[in-house]
Amino acid sequence: MTKQSSTYQSVKLSENASIKIEDNLVIEAPLQININNEPYTVVMRTPGSDEALIKGLLYAEDICKKNEDFKLSVEKNEENYSTIINVDIKKERLGKGYLNKRTLLSISSCGICGKKELKDLEVTGNTLKNKDTTYLKSFVYTTKHMFLKMNELQKIFKTTGGSHACSIFNKNQELLTIQEDIGRHNAVDKCIGDLISNSNLKEAKYMLVSGRVSYEIVSKAFLAKIPFIIAVSACSSLAVDFAKEFGICLIGFSRDDKMTVYANPQFLV
């Protein structure tokens, strides 16, 4: 059976204690889809049922509709679950989606749509050097109040219950920006764009997000040089791997008076 979760060491925090634990995280890994040996797109997925995923995606993209027209072969399967699968489809059986050279339909929940090869996912730059540490005893309390501030300003969510939010605070936990969108990645992009417009991106220290954290959100924070990401929900395996490499303190399940630190806990003293 394909492995779909992995165990990571983390630190569970509350206002009165910190405990080292082992936590199970869902595996996030890239799948490159080639069509007739030419790169078509890359999707992030949890390993398993890759054939079904590809067939469903190409059906939705109007590239191939009939099961007998698919012939899949695995070109590369790495230990880190990065996979390349080629789909052989006779040219006369290719649908309009491919003939129009339309890349993967971009949707609001996806931050990598349009990338064609695994190498396109690489993010370069020096590891963040966080000069300021945050006092552990007050961190849970201040984080709770940053989330309360964000929740108070989520106007779209209050009306619809269907939007995500991102907010960014400075080192004094003062709100710099908050943005909402149906897509998690879009909300992050809006916040960073707003800070760029106001020439205060350098003040950003804490990024709070309303949902889970995948690798794309970590890479966006890294490029914006934001050293803390704090999420209401879970973090993916690749998000933790990237955060460790990039020097970002990554925190998930920040609810009430508890949270779990998955990467770079040394930022909290």
Structure tokens at 227: 């050293």
CB distance 111 to 217 below 8 Å: yes
- pLDDT score recorded for residue 228: 96
Cα distance between residue 210 and residue 243, in whole Å: 18
- pLDDT score recorded for residue 28: 87
Cα distance between residue 127 and residue 125, in whole Å: 7
- pLDDT score recorded for residue 266: 85
Structure tokens at 138: 């007050």
Cα distance between residue 49 and residue 77, in whole Å: 14
Q: Which residues are CB-neighbours of 35 under 8 A, at least 6 positions away? A: 63, 86, 87, 89, 94, 98
Output the known binding site. Answer: 253-258
- Please write the tens of the pLDDT for every residue from 230-248: 999 999 999 999 999 999 9
Report residues of the chain scoring pLDDT below 50: 102, 105-109
End-to-end CA distance of the chain: 41
- Please write the tens of the pLDDT for every residue from 153-204: 999 999 899 889 999 999 999 999 999 998 888 899 899 999 999 999 999 9
Pick the CATH number of 125-267 from 3.10.20.30, 3.40.140.10, 1.10.540.10, 3.20.20.105: 3.40.140.10
Catalytic sites, residue numbers: 110
Question: pTM of the prediction?
Answer: 0.79
Cα–chain-centroid distance for residue 176? 22
Pick the CATH number of 29-121 from 3.10.20.10, 3.20.20.70, 3.40.50.720, 3.90.1150.10: 3.10.20.10
Structure tokens at 147: 């989330």
- pLDDT score recorded for residue 133: 57
Amino acid making up residue 59: Y
Task: Give me the residue spans of the domains in the chain.
Answer: 29-121, 125-267
